[in-house]
Amino acid sequence: MELTFSLLFLFLIFAGGAVLADENDDNKHADVKFRPLKLFVFGDSYADTGNNPKEHASSWKPPYGVTFPGKPAGRFSDGRVLTDYVARFMGIKSPLPYAFRKYAKDKLRGGVNFACGGTGVFDTGNLQPNMTTQIGFLQGLIKEGVYTKRDLESSLALVTVSGNDYGAYNLAGGKEQDLPAFISKVVNQIAINLKAIHDLGVHRVMVANLQPVGCLPQETVSTSYQQCKESPNTAAKFHNQLLQQAVTGLNNGTKASSFLILDNFSAFNTVLTNKGDLTGNLKFDTPFKPCCIGTRSGVHCGGLDENGKELYIVCEKPDSAFFWDTVHPTQAGWSVVYLALRSSLNQMYN
């Protein structure tokens, strides 16, 4: 995922309050009405577990995957990502990446992960399937008879949109004064996509809002990883406010609260502010500094020179860092974000 909010505009939107962690066991759903058995995932690198082509993606190159599974496996982290933790919460295995469906058809019973790093709701220039196309992949599996109506009714959908559309907007020379209108366009398309997933038969749909983009290492590097940038965070708050309005509208149009926002903004903010998780078991001394850093300007984690020499360094203990690279959390980072989101996940079982 590459995203850069360098644009400042005068919108001061208050984001929702922090999501508190549920300190009880992950699966305490004995008396609930809805117990999903499958997980369908749509979105970008915050949820991708292996759909990006091996010949292009850094997620298939060392040192990615060094913590889990011990080698590069398509995740944009040293280990597990958000998808893995949501699946764990459900008590199922992480769903198979769509790219592997032909090689492991027997593993499709737990759902499918369609998310692909670098993508957005619109085309972002990386030639990978945007969210509309990803939804079309599920529609194709339904037409093939891989999933029945009953399968879909007993499933959850996870949608991640982490800002690639805005990165593409900036790279294309998008103007500052036009950014609010573009944010509205992005959120409107997200709402269309969420409804499309629901209309296919998936009755419970979770969508992650934007994380505090100004706190990503690619933004905090200018302050030696000490301070977040307010302008990108203000843009993220505006996106999140519109998303909340869109989800409220979708829920008003259904018989039950079928759509839920996972508040990544508050979860990230809470962890970064506390420099660790909400139970005090894990601390990040320099939370804005990534574990894996390029040693040359313009070189990212995993970069090599023409002779194959590593142009990056990796911290000694990835579990002591919240961020893995310039935009993605470590496995330890995702684990504490998951703790902060867990009470929201419980809402999908009501």
* Residue 283, pLDDT score: 81
Contacts of 221 (CB under 8 A, 6+ apart): 326
* Residue 276, pLDDT score: 73
The answer to whether the peptide bond before residue 63 is cis (omega within 30 degrees of 0) is yes
In order of 26, 216, 312, 314, 316, the CA distances from 291 in angstroms are 28, 13, 10, 6, 8
Angle at 222 between CA 216 and CA 226, to 5 degrees: 65
Which DSSP string do the residues of 224-258 spell out, in sequence order?
TS----HHHHHHHHHHHHHHHHHHHHHHHTSSS--
In order of 206, 220, 295, 302, the CA distances from 311 in angstroms are 38, 21, 5, 7
* Residue 237, pLDDT score: 98
Within 10 A of 176 (CB to CB), how many other CB atoms are there? 12
Q: Are 78 and 64 in contact (CB under 8 A)?
A: yes
* Residue 9, pLDDT score: 37
The three-state secondary structure class of 49 is strand
Quote the CA–CA distance of 99 and 109 in Å, as a whole number: 15
Q: Are 76 and 3 in contact (CB under 8 A)?
A: no
Whose tokens are 């759903």? That residue is: 29
* Residue 305, pLDDT score: 93
Whose tokens are 């996972």? That residue is: 262
In DSSP terms, 276 is beta-bridged to 283
Nearest to 345 by CA among 260, 236, 224: 260
The token duo for 315 is 């911290």
Whole-model pTM? Answer: 0.90
Nearest to 148 by CA among 208, 190, 196, 108: 108
In order of 31, 221, 230, the CA distances from 129 in angstroms are 39, 30, 31
For every one of its 350 residues, what pLDDT tens digit does the chain have, with 9 covering 90 and above? Answer: 544 444 433 333 323 333 323 334 444 444 456 778 999 999 999 999 999 999 889 999 999 999 999 999 999 999 999 999 999 999 999 999 999 998 887 889 999 999 999 999 999 999 999 999 999 999 999 999 999 999 999 999 999 999 999 999 999 999 989 999 999 999 999 999 999 999 999 989 999 999 999 999 999 999 999 999 999 999 999 999 999 999 999 999 987 779 999 999 999 999 998 877 666 667 898 999 999 999 998 899 999 999 999 999 999 999 999 999 999 999 999 999 999 999 888 888 76
* Residue 72, pLDDT score: 97
Quote the CA–CA distance of 327 and 3 in Å, as a whole number: 8
Look at the alpha carbons of 101, 104, 109, 112 in this order and tell me if their dihedral is positive or negative. negative
Quote the CA–CA distance of 54 and 4 in Å, as a whole number: 25
Active site residues: 45, 325, 328
In DSSP terms, 49 is beta-bridged to 75
Burial of 320 (0-12, 13-18, 19+ CB in 10 A): middle
Whose tokens are 């590069």? That residue is: 72
Within 10 A of 350 (CB to CB), how many other CB atoms are there? 12
* Residue 321, pLDDT score: 96
* Residue 105, pLDDT score: 76
φ, ψ (nearest 5 deg) of residue 313: -125, 150
Quote the CA–CA distance of 172 and 191 in Å, as a whole number: 24
Helices (H), the chain: 82-90, 131-143, 149-153, 164-171, 179-199, 217-220, 230-252, 264-274, 331-347
